[in-house]
Amino acid sequence: MDIVLGQYLPGNSVLHRLDPRIKFISLFALMIVVFSAWSYLALLIITFFTAVLVLMSRIRVKIYMKNTGIILGMTMISALLNLFYGSGKPVFSWGFISITEMGIQNSIVVMTRIFNMLILSTCFMFTTSPNDMTYGLQSLLKPLKRWGVNVDDLIIMITIALRFIPISLTEANKIFNSQKSRGADINKRGIVNKIALFIPIVLPLFASVFRRAYELSMAMECRCYGFKEERTHLKRLETTAKDIFALASILLLMIGVIFCNKINPTHLF
């Protein structure tokens, strides 16, 4: 069974090799930039930036489209609806439908923003492995320790969850097949039957997961987990020139967007 965790697509592009912390921060900064842009020029620059990132990820545009298609379609519809809500001088009116200048502006801005946000976060998901995300989080959440949040435990929880998701899925598959081979009627119709069917699959799965958890906790105890206050780490994240470059370019983008918002406020017509 081939399970793709998250949406990570292994690769060796520059984006894949960026420091995950920098990627987290960048994504966050980009979100702010995207939602603070309202001038057409700024939106254009952002879209261009997104396009460059997509190219840099060395993942085919088709795959991006496949992954974001449905959500993108839905946002397009909602953006289109924006067309009809807007005050001001109507540009076009037919019966009770009237499209105003502001409606057009709104729908273009909203559409571009959502489009960029979606593609950017997909790009992040595609190029960051679950492990890298964990390391990134671990490092970024470290300051929370001061307020009594046990970041190490949190990270171990995520690590174990990541490890056990594929195992549990395989297990579920096994249980499904063995129940089927014992004559469980899997193809029953109707929602009640479907829910009833859930029981012979989910109960054994839970039993097995609890057993696993028990054994795992014992194995962890055997390896001295939880005895020392401070854990050390094998993995060390390294910020290199390309990470600095990434941050610098995002900063530049930010300044650019602010500037564009100033000189080119949305006056389409």
| Contact set with another protein (CB under 8 A) | 130-131, 156, 159-160, 162-163, 166-167, 211-212, 215-216, 218-236
Our CB check for another protein shows the closer of 13 and 131 to be 131
Q: How far apart are CB 157 and another protein at their closest, in Å? A: 11
Q: How far apart are CB 24 and another protein at their closest, in Å? A: 19
Our CB check for another protein shows the closer of 58 and 212 to be 212
Our CB check for another protein shows the closer of 121 and 131 to be 131
Residue type, 155: I
d(CA 247, CA 252): 9
What DSSP state is assigned to residue 31?
H
Within 146-240, residue ranges assigned H as helices are 151-181, 191-222
Our CB check for another protein shows the closer of 60 and 231 to be 231
Our CB check for another protein shows the closer of 140 and 169 to be 169
Q: How far apart are CB 130 and another protein at their closest, in Å? A: 8
Q: How far apart are CB 165 and another protein at their closest, in Å? A: 10
Burial bucket for residue 49 (CB in 10 Å: 0-12, 13-18, 19+) = buried
Q: How far apart are CB 217 and another protein at their closest, in Å? A: 10
Nearest to 236 by CA among 19, 18, 8: 19
Task: Provide DSSP, 72-104.
Answer: HHHHHHHHHHHTT---S-EEEEETTEEEEHHHH
Q: How far apart are CB 128 and another protein at their closest, in Å? A: 14
Instruction: State the Cα angle at 39 between 98 and 65, rounded to 5°.
Output: 80
d(CA 181, CA 202): 16
Q: How far apart are CB 181 and another protein at their closest, in Å? A: 21
Our CB check for another protein shows the closer of 3 and 55 to be 3
Query: Cβ distance 92 to 106 under 8 Å?
Result: no
Burial bucket for residue 74 (CB in 10 Å: 0-12, 13-18, 19+) = exposed
d(CA 232, CA 218): 21
Our CB check for another protein shows the closer of 1 and 192 to be 1
